[in-house]
Amino acid sequence: MPKSRVIFVCSGCGQESAKWQGKCPGCGDWNTLFEQTVAAVKSSSSRKIANNAPQPLPDIEITGNERIALTMGEVNRVLGGGLVPGSLSLVGGEPGIGKSTLLLQVAAQMAELAKSPVLYVSGEETRPQIKMRARRLGIEGDGLYLLNETDLDNIIAEMDKLSPSLVIIDSIQTVYAPDIEMAPGGVSQVRECAARLVTWAKSSQTPVLIAGHVTKDGAIAGPRLLEHIVDTVLYLEGEPFSSYRILRSIKNRYGSVNEVGIFEMKEDGLRQVENPSEVFLSRDRQNTVGSAVVPVLEGSRPLLVEIQALTNMTSFGQPRRTANGLDFGRLIIITAVLSRRAYLKLGTQDVIASATGGLHLDEPAADLATALAIASSYKNAPVDASLVAIGELGLSGEIRNVPQIERRLAEADRLGFKKAIIPANVRVKSPSPDFKLIPVRDIRQALRESLTPGIDGEAPASEETI
Task: Give me the tens of pLDDT residue by residue for the chain, a chain 466 residues long.
Answer: 456 677 887 776 667 788 888 888 877 788 888 777 665 554 444 455 555 678 898 887 776 667 899 989 999 999 988 999 999 999 988 888 899 999 999 999 999 988 889 999 999 899 999 999 999 999 988 999 999 999 999 999 999 999 999 999 998 989 999 988 777 877 778 888 999 999 999 999 999 999 987 765 555 555 566 888 899 999 998 876 778 898 989 899 988 887 889 999 998 899 998 888 877 786 566 768 999 999 999 877 899 999 999 999 998 778 999 999 999 999 999 999 999 999 999 999 999 999 987 788 888 999 999 999 999 999 999 999 899 999 999 999 999 999 999 999 999 999 999 999 999 999 899 999 999 999 999 999 999 999 876 544 344 444 444 5
Cis peptide before 165, with omega less than 30 degrees from 0?
A: no
Question: Are the CB atoms for 365 and 401 separated by under 8 Å?
Answer: no
| 100 annotated among ligand-binding-site residues | yes
Give dist(CA 423, CA 397) in Å, integer. 12
User: How crowded is residue 462: how many other Cβ atoms within 10 Å of its Cβ?
Assistant: 8
Give dist(CA 172, CA 296) in Å, integer. 34
Fold of 279-450: Ribosomal Protein S5; domain 2 (3.30.230)
| 419 annotated among ligand-binding-site residues | no
| 97 annotated among ligand-binding-site residues | yes
| 99 annotated among ligand-binding-site residues | yes
Among residues 197, 235, 195, 231, the alpha carbon closest in space to that of 215 is found at 235
How does strand 301-313 pair with strand 208-212?
unpaired
- Global pTM value: 0.78
| 35 annotated among ligand-binding-site residues | no
| 394 annotated among ligand-binding-site residues | no
- The domain covering 69-274 belongs, at the CATH homologous superfamily level, to P-loop containing nucleotide triphosphate hydrolases (3.40.50.300)
pLDDT score for 134: 94
In the chain, what are the domain boundaries? 1-40, 69-274, 279-450
| 98 annotated among ligand-binding-site residues | yes
The end-to-end CA distance of the chain, in Å, is 80
| 95 annotated among ligand-binding-site residues | yes
